[in-house]
Amino acid sequence: MAEGNMSGNGNNNDGGAAAASMSGSVAASSAQQNPFRDDNVVTGDLPLTRAVANVVSLKSVGSTNTVAETYITSGRWNRNGMTIVSAREQTAGRGRLDHTWFSSPGKSFMMSFISAVGKNVACDPQINGWLQMIAGLSVLDALRETLSETDMMLVRDPANIDDARDDVMLKWPNDIVYHGHKLGGILAQIVTVPAPDIVAVIYGVGLNIDVPLGELPTDEATSWQLITQPEHAGERPSTEAVMDLIASRTVKHIEERLWSLGLNPEVDVQHLRRRLVQESWTLGHPVEVHYTNGETERGIAHGINADASLAMTTDDGEERIVHTADVGVLPNVAR
């Protein structure tokens, strides 16, 4: 999920390199035009995740969320249980508010989780904001369980410039961070379906897993490789094993939370709100808010509202409720 530029340069004097480059481009183009073609499908991977969800594993896609939407609208999707669209390479990843996400092939977690959600929840403005937060909380739980189950631990940050605990946390509304450095992000979207009682929700989850420091696009990014270490003597688990654990545990937590939200939305929102406050890295920090209309404000984030919006006090002392915006935490944390 690392943000950056991907490019491939061929040597005009090397016919073999040029041919390989052209072949790769044709294969990637074909996969994007029909991502479900047989030669783009991967079988036998993610065994833990396949035991709890329908997995559509692909070699190369433009965007897993785009492919997931196609999977739904083409009639392939079964509303019973969860479906995951996974990719080893993503060439046109989409982020929130039209941002572009690029990933490191084989080193990044690139999956979209599809689930049915009742229209009563998805269409209620007092509740549907929590759909995004459910994914974030579920990924946090999955990451912590993966740590425990692989006998790993988080690397302590002795500087602790951001005055936060040594743990993965959420930056409102959709980033997974470790001491302010971005480990990953989540893009949630709703897709309407013919059924009268439900919609499909897609959670696109991108995480930097085995991305080394030199390949990260910015100083504000980090990866699982950089923030974890073996708790006892031993080797690191493979990248594939880590991704499988994270995905299977994420399925479990998303399903549990969506089920609970559907059963009793008003009560469950209160639980989600308390948990989000505990897990929020944004609260208490100075922030810079970039609104979709191009305006920018600075202030202090101080609360999560009942509809999952962010409460802040501007530098001018005015109260603001932020529903849709990019929220950057200030100052930037030095590496």
Mean pLDDT of 51-66: 96
Q: Which residue has the higher pLDDT, 18 or 149?
A: 149
Q: 220 is written with which tokens?
A: 């504000």
Residue 82, sorted as left (phi over 0), alpha (psi -120 to 50) or beta, turns out to be: beta
**Res 230: pLDDT:** 94
Strands 198-208 and 181-192: antiparallel
Average pLDDT over residues 54-76: 96
pLDDT in tens, 67-112: 999 999 999 999 999 999 999 999 875 544 454 555 678 899 999 9
Structure confidence at residue 100 (pLDDT): 53
Q: What is the pLDDT of residue 1?
A: 39
Question: What is the pLDDT confidence band of residue 29, given thresholds at 50, 70 and 90?
Answer: low
Strands 108-118 and 83-90 turn out to be antiparallel
Q: Are strands 286-291 and 296-304 parallel, antiparallel or unpaired?
A: antiparallel
Which residues does residue 109 pair with via DSSP β-bridges, in sequence order? 207
SS3 of residue 133 by DSSP = helix
**Does the pLDDT of residue 262 top 50, yes or no?**
yes
Report H helices in the chain.
15-33, 47-50, 64-73, 119-122, 129-149, 224-227, 239-263, 265-279
Q: Chain-wide mean pLDDT for the chain? A: 86
Evaluated on CA atoms 264, 269, 272, 278, the torsion sign reads: negative
| Highest mean pLDDT (candidates 177-186, 230-239, 246-255) | 246-255
- Model-level pTM? 0.86
Range 211-215 contact pairs with CB under 8 angstroms and sequence separation of 24 or more: 211/2, 211/104, 211/107, 211/108, 215/2, 215/104, 215/107
- CB crowding 286-299: b at 16 or more within 10 Å, else e: ebebeeeeeeebeb
With the C-alpha atoms ordered 94, 99, 103, 109, is the resulting torsion angle positive or negative?
negative
How many CB atoms neighbour CB 112 within 10 A? 26
Query: Which residue is listed with tokens 């949630």?
Result: 188
**Rounded-to-integer distance, Cα 151 and Cα 241, Å:** 13
**What is the biggest distance separating any 2 CA atoms in the chain, rounded to whole angstroms?**
67
Asked if pLDDT for residue 327 goes beyond 90, the answer is no
Measured CA to CA in angstroms, residue 17 lies from 9, 40, 148, 183, 213 at distances of: 9, 22, 44, 34, 28
> Is residue 23 predicted with pLDDT exceeding 90?
no
Task: Check residue 104 and give its pLDDT.
Answer: 76
Dist. CA 98–CA 112, nearest whole Å? 17
Query: How far does the chain reach from its first CA to its final CA, in angstroms?
Result: 20
- Contacting residues for 267 by C-beta, under 8 A, at least 6 apart: none
